[in-house]
Amino acid sequence: MIDHVSIGVRNVAASKRFYDAALPPLGYKCLSESAESLGYGAKAPALWVGAAERPVAADGKSGLHLCFSAPNRKSVDAFHAAGLASGGLDNGGPGLRADYGAGYYAAYLMDPDGYRIEAYFAEQA
């Protein structure tokens, strides 16, 4: 249904450090790059990160977050560790989230602009 999502950031270089580290464990990489924007995906960009004069303010109570599919638990763990090491903040460590469903394994970060980012793997029962 959704072809891509775009987010505005204050500092493209800081966002590049974060997303270049956090997304590869999930199978995604930077596929398009300029001084003002980055495009991430597996085969085609699905997440666009671009310089914005007024990025959306971080608001933990807004309900807004981006969730990325992960191939396995190990990749969720690696996403979280790499994101923390490259400027992200912890927003929920890797683990099962039984309240979201049986086998829902996820980790949560906040990127350098405060966007809430999730990596999720669906374990088969």
Top-confidence residue, 62 or 85: 85
| pLDDT reported for residue 125 | 57
The structure's pTM equals: 0.93
CA–CA distance, 71 with 65 (Å, rounded to integer): 19
74 in any annotated domain: yes
pLDDT at 28: 97
Residue ranges making up the domain that contains 71? 5-52+65-122
User: Is the predicted pLDDT of residue 19 greater than 90, yes or no?
Assistant: yes
Q: What CATH number has the domain bearing residue 27?
A: 3.10.180.10
Q: Name the burial class of residue 31, with classes exposed (0-12), middle (13-18) and buried (19+) by CB atoms within 10 angstroms of its CB.
A: middle
Tokens of 41: 């995906």
Any domain includes 60? no
Is residue 59, in this structure, part of any structural domain at all? no
Establish if 57 belongs to a structural domain: no
CA geometry: angle 113, 81, 100, nearest 5 deg = 80
Domain tally, the chain: 1
Instruction: Tell whether 82 is covered by a domain.
Output: yes
| Three-class DSSP category at 50 | strand
